Structure 1
Amino acid sequence: MINSNSLINKKEQRFRSLVSLTIVIIYLLILAGGIVRGTGSGMGCPDWPRCFGRWVPPTEISQLPANYQEIYGAKLKGEVLFNPVKTWIEYANRLLGVLSGFLVFATLLASLYYLHIDRIIVWGSLMAFLLIGLNGWLGSRVVATELAQYVITLHLLLAILLVFTLLFVWVRSSSSKWRVESEKTSTLRLLLAIALLLTLAQIVLGAQVRDVLDSVVKRIGYGERDSWISQLDWRFYVHRSFSLAIFAFHISIIYQLRKLNKRGQLVKLTNILIGFIVAEIGTGVIMAYLGVPAFAQPIHLVLAILIIGLQFSISLLLTPKLIATGSVNQATRLIKA
């Protein structure tokens, strides 16, 4: 019996570790996407899935045909000369996308262990696999449409949905490790649902601000970086002010959590959430007052996805009906063993 239970625990631990690694890589992929956007490398590879017609991108202009500007000029977004840095930034983003695809597929295969234990975990893993395939295709449309804003925003939203799906699988497969002592969580769940929707709206608005910023950069150039912010429209000011409202809203959430459990795991998660929000506001201030430095933009994006991911995870932990089945089945298996 001991050996049987130990084998079960090892298989489940390996699955959770694989899902955790996959989530980390997805976040790195989002970070890479932010770097691509922040450095203007979106068309660093003007074709897809190859890059300048090659599986391994060129590192110098001599590796390109003499008339490469004529071939790819319409898609190079004003780049007069070949820029290997932008090309490899975009290509590294693609490689991370391929790696994440393999990991999500591995997660799906590993989830088959739960086929007769908790099929929802298998369905969740299958959903993640379908989502990353769809988002990979959408990435090709980003190139094909030459960075159309609506495609980029949809690409980001699908990435968030993928993160949600993987977080659900991870939380459900490890639900026995989490405990919520009080059942009086309806108000808190409502607050978290509102916070999640507000944060999602803030992310979409931020994507629109980024699009306006791209237009400003295209019009006045990189040499006028200090004047970029003053050229933005009302969406930037709404986006900036809205962050303070979201921060205040989360203070009320942590107050409600402390009423439920003053020292529980959920309170620790919410404290981390507040820390991320403070850091998110900090990177926003850096961009607004220090000429939108390129390093701050991807960090700002990843923090936003970390925030919404934590909100979603806490909401799951406060909704036992969504995650309890895995724990019940696990207990049943141990009893039968």
Structure 2
Amino acid sequence: MNSTKNENLDIFRDKVLIFFLILSIITVISQITLGGIVRVTGSGDGCPDWPKCYDSWIPPFEYHALIEYAHRTLGASLGIFIFISTSIVWIKYRRNSSVIRLVTLSSVLVFIVGMIGGVVVLSELSPSIRTLHLTLAQMVTALVILSYIYSTYTFNLPINKSSKWLWSKIDKDHKSILNFTVFAAIFTLVALLSGSYAVWKEAGTVCSSWPLCGGSIIPQSYLAWIHMFHRFISILSVFVVFFACYKVLKTEKISKHLRFASISGIGLIFAQIIMGAANPLTTFEQWARAGHLSLATLIWVNMVFMIGFFLKPTKASEINNIK
């Protein structure tokens, strides 16, 4: 027991591990954001082969090729950072089962994402394959964030009426709101993926008005149905995420980190509403479309942080009683 506790304290002090986990988080968010830019600028086929670009490791000095190759380079860098993090954990902290599970699964998934990325190019950018590619990339994001959270704090706080949640123990009074937060996070991911699928099916710009599609309550085409389904799911996700953040803020005994994440979630929701409306109002300018996906990813990231902060052991001095 003491050796495990000392190992937990050591992982908290491991600045190299924390550095690479933070670097992984920044890189994966940047890669997904750049992936959105690849999508809205039509740069997905900027490099027609894989892993090289026009059969060269150095891409041609051309706009679309540079954007696509930068996206791939970030993906390769992410794989290296996660591999280093995983190696550190396996060598020094293998008794920390939570972090071991998270970083190992991150390594496996980031490898799969890279392989699917190659399939995306070689399959002429099939919408279904691209949706799977983005889904797994968002899963990697979640796993890296949770790896970071579980590695940055390991002091134990006595939990009243503890309840098991997956491999963790949480306060029984927090279990229902944690479950709803997970539901809100999943809803956010579904909304994000539905929007990406709509764009890849070339349905992203078929509705030039907002909030209705061309002034009609009933969509008039198959592509319009895809587009409006995304809008409907997005509107629902706004209410679900807002309610989850509000409920967390009303919950007693939450850390200052969780409180900050909840407030951030509300702010991101309002920013996303504005950005979503900006798409049709600007005739789907590239900056509005890329910003829309970036904000959706940040909302997903924020929800994962909230889940992690519920599961993360917290110092008593960090507890805020919010009533």
TM-score w.r.t. length of structure 1: 0.76
Contact persistence 1:33–1:93 (CA under 8 A): yes
| 1:332 paired residue number | none
Offset from partner CA, 1:95-117 (integer Å, 9 cap, x none): 11111111111111222354344
Specify whether residues 32 and 118 from structure 1 end up closer, same or farther in structure 2 by C-alpha distance, changes over 3 A only: same
Contact persistence 1:180–1:317 (CA under 8 A): no
| 2:236 paired residue number | 245
How far apart in 2 are the matches of 1:194 and 1:181?
A: 23
Whose RCO is larger (CA < 8 A, sep 6+)? 1
How far apart in 2 are the matches of 1:201 and 1:128?
A: 21
Structure 1 unmatched ranges of 5 or more? 60-83, 218-224, 328-337
Which residue type is aligned with residue 236 of structure 1?
A: H
Structure 2 unmatched ranges of 5 or more? 1-5, 161-170, 215-220, 316-323
Q: Offset of 1:53 from its aligned partner?
A: 1.4
Contact persistence 2:279–2:285 (CA under 8 A): yes
Q: Offset of 1:252 from its aligned partner?
A: 2.5
| 1:168 paired residue number | 146
Specify whether residues 116 and 147 from structure 1 end up closer, same or farther in structure 2 by C-alpha distance, changes over 3 A only: closer
Q: Offset of 1:130 from its aligned partner?
A: 1.3
Contact persistence 1:178–1:317 (CA under 8 A): no
TM-score w.r.t. length of structure 2: 0.79
| 1:299 paired residue number | 291
Question: Percent identity, aligned pairs only?
Answer: 25
Describe how 1:262-273 pairs up with structure 2 within 5 A: 264-273=256-265
Q: Offset of 1:88 from its aligned partner?
A: 1.0
Bigger shift: residues 253-262 or 95-104: 253-262
| 2:100 paired residue number | 122
Q: Offset of 1:145 from its aligned partner?
A: 0.5
Describe how 1:88-107 pairs up with structure 2 within 5 A: 88-107=66-85
Which residue type is aligned with residue 203 of structure 1?
A: L
Which residue type is aligned with residue 95 of structure 1?
A: T
| 1:70 paired residue number | none
Pairing partner for 1:210 from 199, 217, 228: 199
Specify whether residues 41 and 179 from structure 1 end up closer, same or farther in structure 2 by C-alpha distance, changes over 3 A only: farther
CA RMSD, aligned part only? Answer: 3.1
Residue 58 (structure 1) aligned with residue 60 (structure 2)? yes
Q: Offset of 1:264 from its aligned partner?
A: 3.3
More helix by share: 1
How far apart in 1 are the matches of 2:293 and 2:284?
A: 13
How far apart in 1 are the matches of 2:94 and 2:77?
A: 29
User: How many residues align structurally?
Assistant: 288
How far apart in 2 are the matches of 1:279 and 1:138?
A: 32
Specify whether residues 48 and 187 from structure 1 end up closer, same or farther in structure 2 by C-alpha distance, changes over 3 A only: same
